[in-house]
Amino acid sequence: MNQLDALRQYTTVVADTGDFHQLAQFQPRDATTNPSLILKAVQKPEYAPLMRATVAQYKGRSLDEVMDRMLVRFGCEILNTIPGRVSTEVDARLSFNTSATVARAERLIELYQAEGMHIDRVLIKIASTWEGIEAARQLELRGIHTNLTLLFSFSQAVACGQAKVQLISPFVGRIYDWYKKQAGAQWDEAAMAGANDPGVCSVRAIYEHYKHFGIATEVMGASFRNTGQIVALAGCDLLTIAPELLAQLGASDAPLARALDPEAARTLALDPVHYDEAGFRLALNEDAMATEKLAEGIRAFAADTRKLEALMQQAAD
């Protein structure tokens, strides 16, 4: 049994890509996208016509509407390839605006429904700001399921659990990147690998908290730098993995054992944690890594959204 098949015994495997032509070979249940992945996809010759056709079909509409229609077009292609759910992201520039995030999410869902896709097959991705988490809480009450992304801290995860969001995506690789950069020449790669990887440790703490307290929100580790991080999180509810790492797992027959266990988590001695808005903001502010990576992630997704808009504008001219 290769590592990918072994992983599937414990964890739902999700493909992290906008390249829907790659999906079939890895047979993931779900798939996730983000502005950076869609930007990467539309610059490939095989996807450029899809963007041009969408822009031409909705010429004269607002740029944000055409953008949403293109995201949904990609999402529908993905849903035609996989049996499960696709995650589609709300414009990162709305990350601090609850009402605008809710409105944009509702439009994305309406567009998916107009294409015949069931609401339960779509997760709306929202940045894990306080405003984004509140938007997700409101959306979940309306039956629209959410995936809270750019999640780097325990405090963000606790607030998401309180909001009863469907799923969270803690970013393993970006946490690892921050600590490695901070350590500089003192970083010991071997000592900080596997179960000791700071990104892995973060996800494990969140997973154990959720399982111990019976929080239904799904935990989906994301943003991996190497297969060691993935193997160290075998047993997590879901893991969203880039195609190149899926291929590496599929090519390896090294042993892979369950690393996270819900039954073991229930036996731990953990204290309950709750945040109001002020407490959340203070806890996030106290976490330099999470504060920096959240801000950086929002800026990067916003920048890639602007690049996508520029490409669409060129296609319209």
**What phi and psi values does residue 191 have, to the nearest 5 degrees?**
-70, -25
The answer to whether 256 and 234 are in contact (CB under 8 A) is yes
**40, 44, 59, 125: which is the annotated catalytic residue?**
125
307: tokens are 């690049």
3-state secondary structure of 126: strand
Among 265, 150, 280, 157, which residue's Cα sits nearest to residue 213?
265
C-alpha–C-alpha distance, residues 165 and 215, integer Å? 10
Instruction: Look at strands 86-89 and 238-241 and give their pairing.
Output: unpaired
Among 153, 115, 113, 119, which residue's Cα sits nearest to residue 133?
153
Q: Is 164 a catalytic residue?
A: no
Question: Between the CA atoms of 52, 57, 62 and 67, what dihedral angle is there, to the nearest 10 degrees?
Answer: -50
C-alpha–C-alpha distance, residues 44 and 38, integer Å? 10
Q: Which residues of 260-270 are buried (b: 16+ CB within 10 A; e: fewer)?
A: beeeebeeeee
313: tokens are 């504008």
Which residues are annotated as catalytic?
125
